[in-house]
Structure 1
Amino acid sequence: MSRTVPLSAGLPADPSSPSSARSLSARDVKTLGLSALGGTLEFYDFVIYVFFAAVLGKLFFPVDMPDWLRQLQTFGIFAAGYLSRPLGGIVIAHFGDILGRKRMFTLSIFLMAVPTLVIGLLPTYASIGVAAPLLLLAMRVLQGAAIGGEMPGAWVFVAEHVPAKRYGLGVGTLTAGITGGILLGSLVAMAVNRSYSPADVSDFAWRIPFILGGVFGLVSVYLRRFLHETPVFQELAKRRNVARELPLKTILREHRGACVLVGLLTWVLSAAIVVVVLITPNYLQKVHGIAPALALEANAVATLTLTLGCILMGWASDRFGTRPVMLVGFGGLLVTSYLFYTGLPGTPASLIGSYGLVGLFVGSIALVPIVGVRAFPPAVRFSGLSFAYNMSYAIFGGLTPIIITLWLQKDALAPAHYVAALAALGFLLGLVPMSGRGYLPRKAVPAR
């Protein structure tokens, strides 16, 4: 007689429930490891562009173009990756709820690896003229579509595999792997720039990170062949309970509250990542005159503590419950962001120490998928999370750099105010019952 897997399997509201008794098996560890590795490589492929934006701007646009316009168009192509996330996420998630998590999980990394490899092989403006930036734009659009499906797909895939009592740790570890892609990109960029002269970087060395990312991405596609479909989707298919109508239609009709919750939490996530991790290194150099090497070193430390923080927050969510960890995590982010930005420029030691501390609390972003995955029922879980997450990230991830840039004209502490305000929002969202309870199709269990 076959074992019946509850539709809420792996997504407990109460870690003391009987379904939470199983511990991590060797198969769970393999699933988590391959998923995290793939997430690291895919996010590396997505962000490596920003580390070589200045070089790409000179190579893919006319040499006589004003520098400000060249940079604007270069970052415009980077932003195109964000704008294409919702469409890619919706399409990939739609088929993930119909055909299975594993197929779309593998497809998303393939769609990221190939464009990354192509970017590394593209001819420049000097060779093919205006076709060069157009091809670069097309590759970024494909990358954005891929990342839009990868992150929600990875969270759902792992959440539906790991045992209930390790749900937070599993999702947190996967999120750590994804954010580790930023650290990997930073380290590779530093290695390339230290190993080659500026002339060599512009000549050929800029291609190395993209080619490596593409090749390793294709290896990850092969490795994902050894993953298994999630027990939750297998049970849905067995009961013929997979989504029959367009999943997005069901989400907008029946799960608007969950969409709002996940969308607002994603705003908090985008503020922490975009401001603290991506914008701050340039802010340290431009506003406080900190040497580029020191700024990048401090940023690498903060990214490392962010990665560790994701694991810590996931573990704590299993141990103490999601709600109290949200209150502590986002409350800590509010306090440490002010400590960091008001203490600048400080000494090298204080800069690295305070940046590392705020990075640790940025790890609270792992709570976003922990809440978000279980906010939707299994039949439309992939589509619901993908729609809410990607729509919010496309809006707020794109607007945040503009908001901070304009705000800095008035106040040098604009990054601190913005991050603290969104951390306060995250704190308040921790009080929402759905944040601690999740989706319970039959009998509600009090939120912890």
Structure 2
Amino acid sequence: MNQADLSAAPAPFVADAPPRFHARRQLMAAMIGNVLEYYDFIVYAFLAATLARNFFHAGELRGLLASFAAFGVGFLARPVGGALIGRIADTQGRRVALLVTIFGMALGTVGIGLLPTYDSIGVAAPIMLVALRLIQGLAAGGEWGSATSFIIESAPAEKRGLYGGLGQASIAASSLVSSIVVGLVSASFTTAQMDAWAWRLPFLIGGLLLPIGIYMRRNIDETPAFTQVQVQVQGEAAKPAPLSRGAAIAMMGKAFGFTIIWTVSYYVMLSYMPTFLTKYAGLTTTQALMSNSGALFVLVLATPGFGWLSDRIGRKPLLLGCCVGFALLSYPLFRLILGGVSFGAILGVQIFFNLFIAAFSGAGPAALCEIFPTHSRTTLLSIGYSLSTAIFGGFAPFLSTWLIGVTGSPISPSLYVMAAAVISGVVIFFFRETAHERLR
């Protein structure tokens, strides 16, 4: 069966979502786990400059590039984690996969918090840092696809966009929590204290929260969609038809292209932005983190609303509108930030950018899940999404720093965002609208 057959022919329907109270309980458990998992993964980006001084003995630019490269290495492991843990989710269940990811992420995070620095053990320090980022990357690669599949499959059919938006808002909330924690720590200690030991605190806090995540994920039920597929697989009839290799590759390709602007905008506008604002916009570290936190707060609040809207008007109008907005407005808004404007103006620009990210994040999870059949959803979704995130998102801070170094122009990261918007816009243009269809 080819991709055209899959798009045109009706596919087997899966079970309806569970009762609303049960669905909300499932959603809450997944969201709390998301916050804890992605706090652990993202906090590294907010401490990149401090980690550069502790683990990479080089000039300022080279040290920062090395630190961001280690940040990106975590993303290289995500496709592998997506394939391995996604397979667990599609064969053993979403619940089992979600427990695997939270243990892996905690191991990497606590390890970084306890890691000796370059001054203590020399070159072994950055090698161990990279190894721990790889462990985090494996966990993160399985987390997004497993958690997103779990949330969408647990949602009422008419609220998949809303539930997907709430799940994505919890990931944004993890960035907000990371930004707030690092901001409070940096404001509470001197630069010398931060470099000496206080940088460890945000990582260790992530480890202390592990029992909460484990408890929440041990007490969730499997999704009705996965349960029904397992009944079919173990029965004598109505087994789900396996995908051909070509159909699977085509589906993963759609997810890959779809994700480019999503991951580039997120990691340029959020993870990299505090560093950018301190180096080129004249803000202090605390001011940059405060601005980032304010914009993230808006992102957390707005994302579920856009998810709800996608249930009414469809996914494509929001997704395409975001691509057009990033393509047309990134350059002038970056120029505004670099024009010596006030803190309030910079905060306004960040909020404006985050509203576009919120619109994409609201419609995106449901739109991606609706591409795939349940029996292979998590594996294929995780691989396509994680490959795109690894290539275009994980190295977005590194590429932004490199572009500025090569061109000599701080505005050059905006060109990266614009190019990503054009590519994803073309891919999404050819998507079929699936907002009002049942999951396959």
Q: Indicate which of 415, 421, 429 corresponds to 1:431.
A: 429
Mapped contact 1:262–1:368 kept (Cα < 8 A): no
Residues in 2 aligned to 1:293 and 1:251: alpha-carbon distance in whole angstroms: 52
> Which residue matches 1:52?
47
Q: Does 1:259 align with 2:255?
A: no
Change (3 A) 1:404 1:56: closer
**Correspondence 1:34 to 2:29:** yes
Partner letter of residue 421 of structure 2?
A
Which residue number corresponds to residue 220 of structure 1? 213
Residues 129-278 of structure 1 mapped to structure 2, 5 A cutoff: 129-240=122-233, 250=243, 252-278=245-271
What do residues 388-428 of structure 1 show as CA deviations (whole Å, max 9, x unaligned)?
A: 11111111124544543454416554333332343344444
Deviation readout 1:150-185 (Å, 9 max, x if unpaired): 011100011111111110011111011012111111
Partner of 1:385: 381
Q: SS at 2:266's partner residue?
A: helix
User: Per-residue deviation at 1:326?
Assistant: 2.1
Judge conservation of contact 1:430–1:436 (CA < 8 Å) in 2.
Answer: no
The two structures, once aligned, show a CA RMSD in angstroms of 2.8
Distance of 1:406 and 1:439 partners within structure 2: 44
Task: Kindly indicate whether the alpha-carbon contact (under 8 Å) linking 2:68 and 2:397 is maintained by their aligned counterparts in 1.
Answer: no
Give TM-score scaled by structure 2 length: 0.86
Q: CA deviation at 1:357?
A: 1.5
TM-score (norm 1): 0.85
Task: Please say if 1:319 is aligned against 2:328.
Answer: no
Superposed, 1:228-377 pairs within 5 Å as: 228-240=221-233, 250=243, 252-338=245-331, 340-344=333-337, 345=339, 346-366=341-361, 367-377=363-373
Distance change (3 Å), C-alpha of 1:356 and 1:128: same
Amino acid across the alignment from 1:431: F
Deviates more, 1:193-202 or 1:66-75: 66-75
Q: How many residues align?
A: 420
Q: Aligned partners of 1:280, 1:128: CA distance in 2, in Å?
A: 31
Distance 1:34 1:71 in 2: 36
Q: Is there any run of 5+ residues in structure 1 with no aligned partner, and where?
A: 1-5, 11-18, 443-448
* Contact 1:310/1:364 (8 A) holds in 2: yes
Match of 2:70 in 1: 77
Q: 1:209 to 1:296 in 2, by over 3 A?
A: closer
- Residue 434 of structure 1: SS of its match in structure 2? coil
> What residue in structure 2 maps to residue 108 of structure 1?
101
Q: Distance in 2 between matches of 1:171 and 1:317?
A: 10
Q: Using the aligned pairs only, state the percent identity.
A: 32
- Quick check: 1:110–1:218 contact (8 Å CA) kept in 2? no
CA contact (8 A) 2:69 2:395 kept: no
Query: How far apart in 2 are the matches of 1:113 and 1:163?
Result: 31
- C-alpha distance 57-188 of structure 1, shift in aligned 2 (>3 A): same
1:60-75 mapped onto 2 (5 Å cutoff): 60-61=55-56, 65-75=58-68
- Any conservation in 1 of the 2:311–2:436 contact (CA below 8 Å)? no
